[in-house]
Structure 1
Amino acid sequence: MKSEFWEVPEGQIAAVVTHLQMFERPAPRPMGRVDATLVPHAAPDLDWYRDLFMRVGGQDWMWFSRLGMNDAELAAILHRDDVHIYSVQKDGRDEGMLELDFRVSGECELGYFGLTSAMVGTGAGRWLMEQALDLAWAQPISRFHVHTCTLDSPQALPFYVRSGFQAYARQIEVADDPRKAGVLPMDSAPQLPII
């Protein structure tokens, strides 16, 4: 078996991206009671969204794509009728996010999905996925898809598979390190050294 290595230039990061999809709503998975509420946000405030995005994925998992957008770019996505934004609220505080993107006719992309560290391990992930599946398949779609990468939580990929998604493609993504670019704090994602 042969393997190859490719250099990642200084100041950049690389991730293996796995694309997953499903073509019908899987049977609901059993779960316990979760003390949280799913709240829709039509045309969400951009500062609110960036704060939640950062708390869910920026500090620990190097979510950065939305943080590098200016207000006009971000609003052009989030303020569309076919992009649905939800937060997971517990005790009056937003502790998770769900973004369903219906911009492609007949499809839904699970754009962003995650919880803050305060909710991890509480069963809220499974509950949130069941909410996502119900909301996505309530629309006239024939495909629901998502992608995750090695910069995300190592729990993400197996969680999506357990939820009924099947992997169908893999890519390598190379991007400027958002910490060096000033998009994320330098202490973000300490598991990935800055080179």
Structure 2
Amino acid sequence: MSENSEIPDGTAPGTTESATAPAGATATAPGPQPEPIRFFGTSWVAHDGNYGLRRAGVAVGSLAATAASCFLLRFAYQGLEIADVGSFVGILVVLTFAICSAIAFRKTWEGFGSRPADPGREDNLRGLKTIGFIGSLLAYFFRTFTEAPGEKLRRAEYEAAQVRYAKRRSARTGNPAARKTAKAKKARRK
């Protein structure tokens, strides 16, 4: 399950500049805006807006979805037994879901900490992650014990964007010609 969304040109991942906000949207403050996280919106920034309840809800929801998915897979496996396809096919099905779930868990967990280096490769793994959806659900469940899934990555990107924005703003303040004149006057006095 990828959390990535389209990133407007000229902005850092995890932020949207107020100048690139869609028409009709009102920016509350100039500068970079935090990227919303699924189920959390932007409540992860200040841990407000029932953030704790949302984390608990995501944990319970992902665990319930995992349990329901396991029951569905068990019924599917029973269907294979009823069809009497043989033990080899049953073993292949179980191995396929186990391996795909392990890969999906690992890729989802890594996605919470860093953006994919090769988005094309991530797109190629989408089918594998779909088959191993139980692994992705478990990754969400375990990650909610420490943070909103993907919060650490987005927070680092958001804080870096704020620092870059502050540097750009401080570099542009005042009249550059006046600063050069003031520096020249100070140099002449010495």
* TM-score, normalised with respect to structure 1: 0.26
* TM-score, normalised with respect to structure 2: 0.27
Q: Which has the higher strand share?
A: 1
Q: Which has the higher helix share?
A: 2
